[in-house]
Amino acid sequence: MLRGFCFGFCGIVVLFGMIYFASDRVVREPWQRFSNSYISFNLPPGWECNSSGTEFVCEDVASGDQELALFVLTAKQVGPMDNFDNYQAYLQTPKTMTLENDEEALQSVVEELEIREISGEDWVFSQHLNSELPAFHTQYFATVRKDVAVLVTYSYHKDAPRRLHEIGEQAATSFIILN
């Protein structure tokens, strides 16, 4: 009887070990590289970027989460106000958003502000709640290189799945300015 128990128990342990090993080795789709004339970075599988005037808007078209998260990328020729001190001053200040009824104003909450080094470049990073869209966190990544100022924002709904919360910072680790 004890021998049967040991074989059964050992079989269960081996089975769970195989499941754990297999789940740890699941092949995930690689992130794809997006590039335009001023920036290149990695996006998760299923995300697409489209030009929208002077901006590029990137959304998850595969999973149906377009309404929960998006990137907006823009760049311009450097002007006299484009420098890290001005970017920090602007991003450390709460924003006021007028809602659709034009009577209510929503004040953003500055959640984080710092300088980050990404791919050898300094970037001003800030995260706000309610700065661009109500109930959305927005991560701002801004830098200046030579004659180009670049701003990348990543916004995600505060109740979005956890995987969407992390995409902005994961993508940012691959930012490369192309000029």
- For residue range 23-35, what is the model confidence (pLDDT) as tens digits? 333 346 899 999 9
Q: What is the mean pLDDT of residues 124-141?
A: 96
pLDDT at position 3: 52
Would you place residue 1 in the very low, low, confident or very high pLDDT band (cuts 50, 70, 90)? low
- For residue range 72-101, what is the model confidence (pLDDT) as tens digits? 999 999 999 999 999 999 999 999 988 777
- What is the number of residues in the chain? 179
pLDDT at position 100: 79
pLDDT at position 6: 43
Q: What domains can you pick out in the chain, each with its CATH number?
A: 31-177 (3.40.1000.10)
Class of residue 46 by CB neighbours under 10 A (exposed 0-12, middle 13-18, buried 19+): middle
The position carrying tokens 């799945």 is 161
Is pTM beyond 0.85? Reply is no
pLDDT at position 4: 53
pLDDT for residue 113 is more than 70: yes
**Strand 96-98 vs strand 136-145: parallel, antiparallel, or unpaired?**
unpaired
What count of other Cβ atoms lies within 10 Å of the Cβ of residue 134?
Answer: 15
What count of other Cβ atoms lies within 10 Å of the Cβ of residue 125?
Answer: 22
Give the whole-angstrom CA distance, residue 149 versus residue 123.
11
Give the whole-angstrom CA distance, residue 60 versus residue 58.
7
What mean pLDDT value characterizes the chain? 85
pLDDT at position 28: 67
Give the whole-angstrom CA distance, residue 152 versus residue 43.
13
